[in-house]
Each structure stands twice: as C-alpha cells, then as structure tokens.
Amino acid sequence: MANDIKDAGQYFDLDQCEKAYGLGGKETTWVDYSNGNGSWDEDKYYSDFDAWWKSLPHDEQARIYKGVFGIS
C-alpha cells in the first residue's frame, strides 16, 4: 500500500466516503449536512471527511481503503 494512502480520502466520491465512514464505525452521511431546502453543504462534508480520514492511524486507513475497494 502506498504511503499516499493518507491522502486517498481526498479522492473518494460520495459513495466511497459513505462506505469508508461505515467501515470506520462513524455514522455520518451527506444528510447530516442538509440545509433543509433540498441541498446540502458538499464542501463542509468533504472537508470534514478529509479531516476524519487524516486523523485515522495508517493501519486503519489501509483497512478501510481495502474495504471500500474490495481489496483482500
């Protein structure tokens, strides 16, 4: 696994972020960022995801990354 895994979270799409959160035991979805008028704060969601991802130990990042992409 490349050392760049610490930055991998910056490249996840919405489905991958949601799957990563789930694999990491965090119950966060884009709905939590809804502004009530049918839209959501996409920038804040991805910023918070990136901060969460970078806070994880490397081994946990690797485990989640493998789970998101179905790597054994």
* Domain coverage including residue 41: 3-69
pLDDT at residue 2 greater than cutoff 70? no
Amino acid 10 reads Q
pLDDT band at 3 (very low <50, low <70, confident <90, very high): low
| Domain count of the fold of the chain | 1
d(CA 66, CA 20): 10
- Asked if pLDDT for residue 1 goes beyond 80, the answer is no
The alpha carbon dihedral of 59, 32, 12, 4 has a sign of negative
Dist CA 4 CA 6 (whole Å)? 5
Query: Residue 40 carries which DSSP code?
Result: B
Q: What is the mean pLDDT of residues 46-72?
A: 95
DSSP structure class, residue 33: G
